[in-house]
Structure 1
């Protein structure tokens, strides 16, 4: 029985730390996600110079979850890097959305002017 069936909210994020590691190395399990978020988030996190390693994997093609592993240089918690990566990715998405909406408005305005001339 799944979480949705028994009335619980479905799990979205899990944090897994291997034995013998500190807070600089975590694996984040993101449920109901795929390559779209995995690769984009990996790219944004790897831009951080304090990150030694960031990679993701899809556990199985029939499962909709990704494992995102982050390893940082000493002193910087992987959780902070993960959060910053999400915030940076959101900022990029907001920028793309605003540019797209502005282009649509410009196109529609241009189309209206062309229709009036006819």
Structure 2
């Protein structure tokens, strides 16, 4: 849900349900890397409520578009980390298997 001004679309607060610090801090980080963002922060109204409010203020671009771009950037970062981890794990397993085969032949 977006809470913002109809007259100034460069400032909005996004209310995300069923989220916590993990997602909110990651989105905040991604958005603060964007040069269009002048401010981005988040708050959790109450510890027992699984809801976060993310405030986005931009240099003039619609906050809704910047938020969408930030989430897409975060998704790309996660995909890169996952593929890097998978590649490293495969290399590790291959190295371990090669080392075991070398020891078996001696």
TM-score, with length taken from structure 2: 0.91
Instruction: Give 1:7's aligned residue.
Output: none
1:73 to 52, 59, 64: 59
Unaligned stretches of 5+ in structure 2?
none
TM-score, with length taken from structure 1: 0.82
CA distance in 2, matches of 1:67, 1:21: 21
Q: Which secondary structure does the structure 1 equivalent of 2:57 belong to?
A: strand
CA distance in 1, matches of 2:44, 2:51: 6
TM superposition shift of 1:17: 1.4
Deviations 1:42-76 (A, max 9, x none): 111111122111100111110111000101112x1
1:102 to 76, 87, 96: 87
TM superposition shift of 1:28: 0.5
- Normalized per residue, the structure richer in helix is 2
Runs of 4+ in 1 over 2 A off after TM superposition: none
Instruction: Give 2:96's aligned residue.
Output: 111
CA distance in 2, matches of 1:116, 1:46: 49
1:33 to 3, 19, 34: 19
TM superposition shift of 1:21: 5.0
